Amino acid sequence: MNNPDAGKLAVLIFRKRLLPPSQTFVVTPARSFATFRPVFVGLLKEQAGWHLVEPYPTALLSQFRPFWFHRLLLKLAGRPASVWVNAIKAYRPAIVHAQFGWDGMQALHLAKALAVPLVVHLRGSDIMRVDASRRYIRDRRRLYREAQAIIAVSQFVRSRLIQDGCPDGKIVVHYDGIDTDFWQPAGNPRPGRICFVGRLVEWKGCQHLIRAAAILLSKGHQIELGVVGDGPMREYLHELSRSLGLQVQFTGMLPPDQVRDQLGRSWVCCVPSIVLPDGSCEGLGNVSLEAQACGVPVVVGQSGGLPETIVDGQTGLVVDAQDDQLLARAISGLLTDPARRNKMSQAARDHVLARFNLALQAKRLEDLYERLIAEHGHSTKQKLMEMSHDEGN
């Protein structure tokens, strides 16, 4: 059977490790590409999330021996292994898309070796962390000069890029798209159920939700709290729940279809992210969008670009999630007002369909690729003409 994508130009989706299982957003746009063939390129396989990229062509540097030498040469000299480059050329690459700022330098070296343009995605932690190494900060500013475009995942990230010295004219704000055919209302919510989905790390704020839930319980609310995800704070959160006399359903990490079921069974989804002193915060917040696509009102924290995911007061509520009492009041207001909750449910779904629809956002991303490829081709042709003119004089 002929491959319908075989004749298409390839976009090389670059991530050093393919792929941490929590980074489904790296793969999601590829499912809706119409013009380009997605090829996932990186240095190493991460087994836990490999199933996400397995349906697509892949090219890993670790496939070629000696890997340690090829990796060292790439890092220290900026020279991608010729066997790796030649294998990638078979896919007819037209552009490289680095998925994080810290993927950028390796992706830049690869793009130069292939003579194709580079676009670099900045998603939050790769621009916000104040403890970033001097080398990374220097490399990031080189990317501002040499990449053809810098994608900011939110207006918040765009503002931080400008503060960091990135030319405004190079920045494209592009929101992640949500597959609204997959993320749909389930129609079977459980009374009083609150859901959290995310990594169990401090800046995701689950500790504040647990304390807020204990406040709700103490005031006579009949609630059920489900926590989906895993991370280094798991044991602490278990102990916090026990100390507050709170029954919490910790599910661990779940595949997307089960996450959807967890959201569909909830009256409210809480995304109580905060900002830490080291700068850790939300670049955007896809869980908020997925919940709204399922028709679940959300309560979100004032963390980075997270407030951009909702229409405050219409599809959800924005609060200071570090204030446990305030967080509890916001959740209570939705639990005790079914008319408001139902109105928000429909508005939330409509909001995601209109502004964060995957098909629309994937089309916009492919349009950006086409523009950058055309501009790069014109620039290359211009440089060749100038070189020819200089040699003739």
Q: What is the pLDDT of residue 5?
A: 74
- Report the predicted TM-score, pTM, of the whole model to 2 decimal places: 0.92
Judged against a pLDDT cut of 70, whether residue 3 lies above it is answered with no
Contacts with 168 (C-beta within 8 Å, 6 or more apart), sequence order: 162
- Residue 59 pairs with which residues in a beta bridge? 41
The phi and psi torsions of 80 (rounded to 5 degrees) equal -70, 145
Could you give the percent of the chain with pLDDT greater than 90?
Answer: 92
Q: What's the CA gap between 24 and 5, in Å, rounded?
A: 22
User: What is the rounded average pLDDT of the residues 82-106?
Assistant: 97
- Whether the predicted pLDDT of 197 surpasses 70: yes
Does residue 22 surpass a pLDDT of 50?
A: yes
Q: Left (φ > 0), alpha (ψ -120 to 50) or beta: where does 268 sit?
A: beta
pLDDT tens readout for residues 267-322 = 999 999 999 999 999 999 999 999 999 999 999 999 999 999 999 999 999 999 99
Contacts of 386 (CB under 8 A, 6+ apart): none
How buried is residue 390: exposed, middle or buried, by Cβ count under 10 Å (0-12/13-18/19+)?
Answer: exposed
pLDDT in tens, 133-187: 999 999 999 999 999 999 999 999 999 999 999 999 999 999 999 999 999 998 7
pLDDT value for 379:
63
| pLDDT grade for 1, boundaries at 50, 70 and 90 | very low
Half-sphere exposure of 377 (CA within 13 A, CB side): 8
- Strand partners for 275: none
Condensed to tens digits (0 to 9), the pLDDT of residues 219-242 reads 999 999 999 999 999 999 999 999
pLDDT digits 0-9 by tens, 354-364: 999 999 999 99
- Where does the pLDDT of residue 390 fall: very low under 50, low under 70, confident under 90, or very high at 90 and above? low
Is 383 a residue whose pLDDT tops 80?
no
pLDDT of 391 above 50: no
- Amino acid identity of residue 260, one-letter, is R
- Whole-number average pLDDT of the chain: 94
Which pLDDT band holds residue 393 (cuts at 50, 70, 90)? low
Q: What is the pLDDT of residue 6?
A: 72
Residue 149 and residue 259 in contact, taking contact as beta carbons nearer than 8 Å: no
Give the pLDDT confidence score for residue 188 in this predicted structure.
84
Q: What is the pLDDT of residues 242-268, one digit of tens each?
A: 999 999 999 999 999 999 999 999 999
What percentage of the chain carries pLDDT values higher than 70? 95
Where residue 387 falls among pLDDT bands split at 50, 70, 90?
very low
Instruction: Using pLDDT thresholds of 50, 70 and 90, give the confidence band for residue 380.
Output: low
* Cα dihedral sign, 85-87-91-97: negative
The neighbouring-strand residues paired with 172 are 151
pLDDT of residue 377: 86
Domains and CATH numbers, the chain: 10-177+359-389 (3.40.50.2000), 193-354 (3.40.50.2000)
The mean per-residue pLDDT over the stretch 199-203 comes to: 97
